[in-house]
Amino acid sequence: MSEMNAVAKEYQGQTALVVGAARSGVAAAEFLMARGARVVLTDTKSEEELAPSLAPLKARPFSAGRLLLELGGHRPESFRACDLVVVSPGVPLTLPMFEKSRAAGIPILAEVELASRHIRGKILGITGSNGKTTTTALVTELLRGAGLHGYAAGNIGFPLISFAEASAPDDLYVVELSSFQLEGILQFRPLVAAILNLTPDHLDRYDDFAGYIGAKRRIFMNQTRSDFAVLNRDDPRTAAMAEQVSARPVLFSRRGEVAHGTCVRAGRVVFRDHGAQTDLFAADDIRLKGSHNLENVLAGAAIALLAGAAPDSLGTVVRAFTGVEHRLEWVAEIDGVEYFNDSKATNVDAAIKSLEAFPRNILLIAGGRDKGGDFLPLRQLVAQRVKHVILLGEAAGKIREALSGVVETSEAASLPEAVHLAARSAAPGDVVLLAPACASFDMFQNYEHRGRVFKETVRGMMPR
C-alpha cells in the first residue's frame, strides 16, 4: 500500500462532528472526508444561508455518503455519537452541548489543533489583542522576501487545515490566532509564538480580563526550550511572561533597548543578542502609520529572523510593505479630505491606536456591536484630536454617554449615511476615519464587509 493510500485511510470508520460551517469548518470537513471519515457538519444557520460556502464541499466526489448536514440548530445527540469534535473559531467551547462530548470522553479540537497534527513544516503563531493581521501579513512577506516558503493562515487568508495535504517540511506557516482558537488546542506547538499586546477584549465571551489573558497564554503551553516566545516588553502583562514561559523569550520594544530581541537604536531597527547586534533597517523605512505599527514591525522582524530569514533581506520588504486591507487603509482624498478605513479596529484599544495615527482634525465614525468593552478610555484622545463623532449600531448610545461633554456627536442609521454626514461636516485638511471600536455583526457579515461598504461609499462620492 502506498503512503498516500495509508494516509487517506487515517480516519476510516470514524465519525467526526464539525461544529460551525464557515470557512474553517468547511475546510476541516473536507480534510476529514478526504481521509476516510464520515463527517457531520452542524451549524445554527440554515442551509439556505450557508449555501455559498457549502456548495464546493457538496460537489466533492468523496462527500457522497460521507457528509451529513445538521443545519438550523445543533442536535445534542450528535455530540455524544462521534469519535472526535472539531470546532470552528467562532463557536464558544462553553456551549452546553460540548459537555455531552466531554462526558463521553470524546476529544474536542480546534481546527488549528487538527491541522497542526498533520502539517509538515513549522508553525509561527501570532496572537494578541491588536496588530495580529498586520504582523502576520508582514512576517509572511518577510519570509518570502528572504527566499523562504512562507504562507499566511488562520484568521488571515486560508484555514491552516487547508494547507495540510500539500505541506512540505521546509514550509513556514504564519498563523494568526484568536483567543477562541487557542481555547481548543491540546498539542499545538509553534516553533515561534508571539503575543503582541494584551488589552480588554471579547469580555462578552469571557467572565473577566483574566480569562481572556489565560486563553491567549495557551499559545505557549506546549513549547520547550528549543522554541521561541516573542513578547512585547512595553506591555507589562506580556513582559512578565518572559519569566514564565518554557520557550526562549525574545523581546521587542519601541521605547527602550532589550538584551535579546528587536528595538530602535539611533533611528535604526536592530536585533540584539546578548551583546551582539545586527543592523536591520532604518525606522523611517516603515511606511505604516502609527506607533503601534512600529511595534508590529519590530515583532515581525524578530519572528522572521527566528524562522531563518537573512537579516539583510528584511529592509527591502519593510520599505515596500503598506499594510493590509481594512487596517488604517487609505481610501481616497476628496476635496482635500482624506478617508481611512480601519474597520479592523473592533475594540477600544485598536480604536485608540487608530486615533493616535492622526494629530488632529478627525471626523470619527464609530459604533457597532458592543463586546463588553469600556469606552471611557477614548475620551482623552477624542477631546484632543476629534472634531465630530458619527455613531451607529447597537453601541451608539453607550459610546455617546462615554464621550458626553468632550465632543459633538451625531447618529446615523447606516454606514453610508454616516460617511455622507462626515463628508458634509469635513473641511480641507480633515480626516474621516472609520474606527468602530466594536464588532460588526449587528449590521454586517464581518469587519471586511463593513470595510468594503465604507470604501464603496467613499469611492462613490469621488468626482466622475
Catalytic residue check, 341: no
| Domain 329-460 bears CATH identifier 1.10.3720.10 | no
Per-residue confidence (pLDDT) for residue 7, from 0 to 100: 46
Mean pLDDT of 433-461: 95
What is the rounded distance in angstroms from the CA atom of residue 83 to the CA atom of residue 13?
9
Per-residue confidence (pLDDT) for residue 275, from 0 to 100: 81
Kindly indicate the confidence band of residue 261, based on its pLDDT and cuts at 50, 70 and 90.
very high
Kindly indicate the confidence band of residue 291, based on its pLDDT and cuts at 50, 70 and 90.
confident
Domain ranges of the chain: 13-106, 113-320, 329-460
Per mean pLDDT, which of 281-290, 296-305, 442-451 is the most reliable?
296-305
Q: Which fold has domain 113-320?
A: UDP-N-acetylmuramoyl-L-alanine:D-glutamate ligase (3.40.1190)
Per mean pLDDT, which of 53-57, 58-62, 185-189, 196-200 is the most reliable?
185-189
Per-residue confidence (pLDDT) for residue 129, from 0 to 100: 87
Task: Answer whether residue 124 shows pLDDT above 70.
Answer: yes
Per-residue confidence (pLDDT) for residue 209, from 0 to 100: 83
Per-residue confidence (pLDDT) for residue 387, from 0 to 100: 96
Q: What does the pLDDT look like over 396-408, one tens digit per residue?
A: 999 999 999 999 9
Average pLDDT of the chain to the nearest whole number: 92
Which member of 74, 130, 132, 216 is catalytic? 132
Per-residue confidence (pLDDT) for residue 320, from 0 to 100: 92
Mean pLDDT of 118-131: 94
Kindly indicate the confidence band of residue 367, based on its pLDDT and cuts at 50, 70 and 90.
very high
Task: Answer whether residue 1 shows pLDDT above 50.
Answer: no
Q: What does the pLDDT look like over 312-363, one tens digit per residue?
A: 999 999 999 988 788 888 899 899 899 999 999 999 988 998 998 887 899 9
Mean pLDDT of 273-298: 92
Per-residue confidence (pLDDT) for residue 206, from 0 to 100: 65
Catalytic residue check, 155: yes
Which member of 155, 232, 341, 347 is catalytic? 155
CA contacts within 13 A on the Cβ side of 425 = 22
Catalytic residue check, 118: no
Per-residue confidence (pLDDT) for residue 205, from 0 to 100: 63
Per-residue confidence (pLDDT) for residue 208, from 0 to 100: 74
Task: Answer whether residue 4 shows pLDDT above 80.
Answer: no
Per-residue confidence (pLDDT) for residue 10, from 0 to 100: 84
Per-residue confidence (pLDDT) for residue 2, from 0 to 100: 35
Give the CATH number of domain 13-106; options: 3.40.50.1110, 1.10.1740.10, 3.40.50.720, 3.40.50.700: 3.40.50.720
Q: Which of 421, 425, 422, 376 is nearest to 403 (CA)?
A: 376
Q: Among residues of the chain, what percentage have pLDDT more than 90?
A: 74
Per-residue confidence (pLDDT) for residue 6, from 0 to 100: 42
HEC string for the chain: CCHHHHHHCCCCCCEEEEECCCHHHHHHHHHHHHCCCEEEEEECCCHHHHHHHHHHHHHCHHHCCCEEEEECCCCHHHHCCCCEEEECCCCCCCCCHHHHHHHCCCCEEEHHHHHHCCCCCEEEEEECCCCHHHHHHHHHHHHHHCCCEEEEEECCCECHHHHCCCCCCCEEEEEECCHHHHHCCCCCCCCEEEECCCCCCCCCCCCCHHHHHHHHHHHHCCCCCCCEEEEECCCHHHHHHHHCCCCEEEEECCCCCCCEEEEEECCEEEEEECCEEEEEEEHHHCCCCCHHHHHHHHHHHHHHHHCCCCHHHHHHHHHHCCCCCCCCEEEEEECCEEEEECCCCCCHHHHHHHHHCCCCCEEEEECCECCCCCCHHHHHHHHHHEEEEEECCCCHHHHHHHCCCCCEEEECCCHHHHHHHHHHHCCCCCEEEECCCCECCCCCCCHHHHHHHHHHHHHHCCCC
Whether 329-460 and 113-320 are alike in CATH topology: the answer is no
Least-confidence region, from 39-53, 225-239, 412-426: 39-53
Which member of 74, 130, 202, 455 is catalytic? 202
Per-residue confidence (pLDDT) for residue 63, from 0 to 100: 76
Mean pLDDT of 403-422: 96
